[in-house]
Amino acid sequence: MTPLVGEGAEKFNATDKLIGSERKYRELVENVNSVILRLDTRGHITFFNEFAEKFFGYRKEEIIGRNSVGTIIPKTESSGRDLALMMKDIIKNPGHYTKNENENIKKTGERVWLVWRNCALYDKQGKLEGILSVGNDVTDRKLKEEQLLESYQHAGTINRRISFLSELSQLIVRYKNRKKIILERMLSPLVNFSSAGFGALFKYEDVNGRALRLLSATDAKNYTPAEIRSLSAQSRELLKVLAQARSCARGYCKDLPLGKLSANKKLKYCMLLPLYLKSKPKAFIFLGFKSKPDFSNQDLEFFDVFSIYASALLTDAKIFK
């Protein structure tokens, strides 16, 4: 009897330890500051820990049995990535997603970012039963990364603009009497900077303030002298527009007195940069766009500064008399 009693006592102690271990494990899972959930092979949520309830705003009764996509995972990420397709791939190829980062959504609709550690669960026959996922909130880190990237991009844009203006200043020194080179090198980079579809530089001639002459264009071959003359006939109205703006004027081509300037290119929106000599508009740069561009205040400030540099360049090159 002694060996049997001893064996029974040993099993009892082992069972007691197992129950204690399960209790501690459950307490750990419920109280840890991480989202812990389990998905079946259809992507339905079968386990949702207490922290997940607090984080996502769903009670267990609301979320258990529902699909993760459409509840805590949006069908499409803000970046455009198809998360529904991603979840199907996680179930199909869990080994490829031991760690992944994606956008999630709370019950309130707030978008958040989590890093997930995923573990495939198999039955005794080696068949996939589901996925155990542990997620940690990285929304703040993601926001800081985006802000940092934006700062770098902004700094890069500023540096490129400074370099561009510096090169313009060098043109005055190097090519003081080479008008063609100056006109070509001044206009094309500006068109690239602004992402315009077309750019042209017009000069006012001293014929009752009504004549315009095309000095340079990125694609002048598509425009006939007649089209330029139709613009010249309305130059007084353009002068009024530019005089009122005192800086770059913007608007839809159909609302400005531009004649047939935008017809061939099917340009809808434009910007006019006036170039002054002694407070009088002597020329202007036309930038045409196929759709309305989204310029920031800093972009507009750059165009104004460019106009000052361009005016000085054309004056020093004796294009303005």
pLDDT for 5 = 41
Structure tokens at 196: 């315009």
Answer yes or no: are the C-beta atoms of 135 and 115 closer than 8 Å. Answer: yes
Greater pLDDT, 299 or 149: 299
Rg (CA), the chain: 34
CATH of the domain at 160: 3.30.450.40
One domain, residues 201 and 295: yes
pLDDT of residue 89: 92
Among candidates 286, 293, 289, 310, which has minimal Cα distance to 199? Answer: 286
Mean pLDDT of the 115-130 span: 91
Q: Any bridge partners for residue 201, and if so which?
A: 216, 285
**Residues 66 and 82 both lie in one domain:** yes
Instruction: Identify the domain containing residue 84 by its residue range.
Output: 20-137
DSSP state of 291: S
Let me know whether 157 and 268 are in one domain.
yes
Task: Quote the pLDDT of residue 295.
Answer: 83
Indicate the range of 154-168, 181-195, 223-237 predicted with least confidence. Answer: 223-237
Helix (H) or strand (E) holding 166: helix 139-174
State the CATH number of the domain containing residue 117. Answer: 3.30.450.20
Which tokens in the block code for residue 225?
């002298």
Q: Which residues pair with 174 in a beta bridge?
A: none
pLDDT at position 317, please? 72
- CA–CA distances in Å: residue 292 to residues 21, 65, 295: 65, 48, 9
More confident residue, 238 or 41: 41
Tokens at 217, concatenated: 């264009």
Is residue 22 pLDDT above 60, yes or no? no
What percent of the chain is helix, strand and coil (3-state, nearest 5)? 45, 25, 25
Say if residue 74's pLDDT is above 90: yes
Residue 306 and residue 157 share a domain: yes
Please give the pLDDT value at position 150. 67
Do 80 and 224 belong together in one domain?
no
Q: Report the range out of 40-54, 140-154, 210-224 with the highest average pLDDT.
A: 40-54
Residue 14 domain flag: no
Q: Please choose, from the candidates 297, 298, 301, 249, the residue with its C-alpha nearest in 3D space to the C-alpha of residue 270.
A: 249
pLDDT at 1: 46
Is the same domain home to 63 and 197? no
Query: Average pLDDT of the chain?
Result: 77
SS3 266: coil
Whether residue 116 sits in one domain with residue 149:
no
- Could you say which of 106, 137, 168 is where a domain stops? 137
Mean pLDDT of 110-132: 91
pLDDT at 284 over 70: yes
List C-alpha distances in Å: 298 to 147, 275, 295: 17, 19, 8
- pLDDT confidence tier of residue 232, bands split at 50, 70 and 90: low
Rounded average pLDDT over 301-314: 80
- 232 within domain boundaries: yes
> What is the rounded average pLDDT of the residues 41-46?
93
pLDDT of residue 193: 79
Same domain, 149 and 269: yes
Q: Are 313 and 186 in contact (CB under 8 A)?
A: yes
Q: pTM of the predicted model, to two decimals?
A: 0.49
CA distance 145 to 24: 38
Query: Within its chain, how far is the Cα of 32 from the centroid?
Result: 36
Of 212, 126, 224, 217, nearest in space to 180 by CA: 217
Looking at the structure, do residues 40 and 121 belong to the same domain, yes or no?
Answer: yes
Domain boundary among 80, 102, 137: 137
Give pLDDT tens digits for 168-186. 666 655 655 556 666 667 7
pLDDT over 70 at 114, yes or no:
yes
| Domains of the chain: total | 2
321 domain-assigned = no
Q: Percentage of the chain with pLDDT > 90?
A: 27
CA distance 59 to 116: 21
Rounded Cα distance between 135 and 106, Å, is: 14
E strand residue ranges, 180-227: 198-205, 211-217
Domain boundary among 89, 105, 137: 137
Q: What CA–CA distance (Å, rounded) separates 252 from 275?
A: 21
Instruction: Enter the DSSP assignment of 69.
Output: B
